[in-house]
Amino acid sequence: MRAFFSRFAKTIADVTGRPLSFVLAFVVVVAWAITGPIFDFSDTWQLVINTGTTIITFLMVFLIQNAQNRDTYALQIKLDELIRVTEGAHTALLDLEELDEAQLCAIRQRYEEIAAQSRQAMHRGDNDTDVPHIEFPGEGAIFDGPESAK
To the question of pTM greater than 0.85 for the whole model, the response is: no
How far is the C-alpha of 150 from the C-alpha of 144, rounded, in Å? 11
Sort 92 into a burial class: Cβ within 10 Å, 0-12 / 13-18 / 19+.
middle
What CA–CA distances, in Å, run from 47 to 14, 38, 130?
29, 15, 63
How far is the C-alpha of 35 from the C-alpha of 143, rounded, in Å? 68
Give me the domain span that covers residue 123.
Answer: 99-139
Per-residue pLDDT of the chain (150 residues; tens, 9 = 90+): 888 988 898 899 889 999 999 999 999 999 999 999 999 999 999 999 999 999 999 999 999 899 899 999 999 999 999 999 998 888 888 988 889 999 999 999 998 998 888 888 878 888 777 656 666 666 554 444 444 433
| In a shared domain, residues 107 and 76 | no
CB neighbours of residue 52 within 10 Å? 13
Q: Give the count of domains, the chain.
A: 2
| In a shared domain, residues 70 and 110 | no
| In a shared domain, residues 114 and 69 | no
